Amino acid sequence: MAKKRILITGAAGFLGSHLCDRFIKEDFHVIGMDNLITGELRNIEHLFHLENFEFYHHDVSKFVHIPGKLDYILHFASPASPIDYLKIPIQTLKVGSLGTHNLLGLAKAKHARILVASTSEVYGDPIVSPQSEEYWGNVNPIGPRGVYDEAKRFQEAMTMAYHTFHKLETRIVRIFNTYGPRMRLNDGRVLPAFIGQALRGEDLTVFGDGSQTRSFCYVDDQVDGIYRLLFSDYTQPVNIGNPDEITIKQFGEEIIKLTGTKQKLVYHDLPVDDPKQRRPDISKARAILGWEPKVNRTEGLKITYAYFNSLPEKEILHKDF
Ligand code: NAD
Ligand code: UDP
């Protein structure tokens, strides 16, 4: 029987590349697409020799054409770290809006099911905790994070509109902070920032007083949640994340312990609109997908640290912010 064909946008990025691996493992024909604006080919080059893997270097904010049949689309293309989307705000708005529109159109033309990557950022700086899918959020549309948050909110609205108006098969995952191998050491997110600093013998930069919280999910758990959601019948948004909440100060202390660095925490200004608390309510994922995270932070951080530690020294020393 012919293999099911899946298009994964953002394939050369952190999550996209792990999704490519998972769908190859499940015996799909995987078509990766990426414009490499924040991704790296080395994340997927181990797949290039496979017959059931293809790669298109393409910007999905421009018309997307794929020859042949398509069964599924995972739309993961988008800058995802605050310093990335602050550097490329217009591309961020375009990939969440125009890019999403192009892929919904492609899904409609191919009668494919599409899952879009949304984010906990749709809840903005939340005033309820934990955040359940019913919470409408607290987003500043014109603040520096607005380009990402509003693009993702528009993405959700557009996806639901295609679902209700065109009867398209759609899924929406709201991803909470996820980490693991293949994150970019210089992408500015807190985990690569802290580990990079520890490896270079620099102090760890905590923004604000470090009392803000995040809840970190290991990438294999995230990929499994996304996989289950794609094959479920559920069309409303679903949170996927690890509810184990920690302050950024405690997180810095954990990284100091993990890496054995002699450096200390130093405090810098808190970025504008930085959410004060973030923790997913995963009751829906538990009930509907039978999913919950399996990898605890100690285990996940160990694997991730080993990955960063194995990078060439010149890459660890090179800071390009
Ligand atoms: P990433 O930056 O590693 O990957 C994003 C990929 O998309 C990159 O390879 C980039 O080159 C590509 N891309 C960006 N714009 C594109 C365009 N116009 N056309 C084609 N490719 C384009 O980020 P990530 O952490 O892997 O995030 C992937 C997706 O998951 C994003 O949509 C992001 O919003 C979402 N997400 C991630 C997290 C997380 O914790 N990692 C949390 C919430 C949501
Ligand atoms: N952060 C920090 N030091 C850093 C980078 C980030 O204290 O060097 C903080 C940041 O202000 C935020 C949290 O860590 O409160 C998580 O930031 P990240 O950029 O990883 O993702 P966010 O969840 O804010 O999108």
Q: What's the rounded Cα separation, in Å, for the pair 289 and 188? A: 32
Identified catalytic residue from 72, 85, 123, 148 = 148
Residues 184-212 pLDDT 10s: 999 999 999 999 999 999 999 999 999 99
Closest CA to ligand 2's atom 18: 189
Torsion of the alpha carbons at 132, 170, 70 and 81, rounded to the nearest 10: -40
Q: Is 117 in the pocket of ligand 1 (CB under 6 A)?
A: yes
Q: pLDDT, tens digit, for every residue of 105-160?
A: 999 999 999 999 999 999 999 999 999 999 999 999 999 999 999 999 999 999 99
Average pLDDT, the chain: 97
Measured distance CA(11)–CA(77) in Å, rounded:
7
**Nearest C-alpha neighbor of 11 from the set 67, 78, 95, 68:** 78
Could you tell me if 8 and 32 are in contact, meaning their C-beta atoms sit under 8 angstroms apart?
yes
Is the predicted pLDDT of residue 260 greater than 60, yes or no?
Answer: yes
- pLDDT of 1: 84
Q: How far is CA 97 from CA 45, 77, 94, 125, in A?
A: 29, 11, 5, 22
Pick the atom of ligand 1 nearest to 94's CA.
18
| 218 given a catalytic annotation | no
**Which value does ipTM take for this structure?**
0.98
Q: Determine the atom of ligand 1 nearest the C-alpha atom of 16.
A: 26
What pLDDT shows up at residue 320?
62
Is the pLDDT at 224 greater than 80? The verdict is yes
Residue 321 has pLDDT above 60, yes or no: no
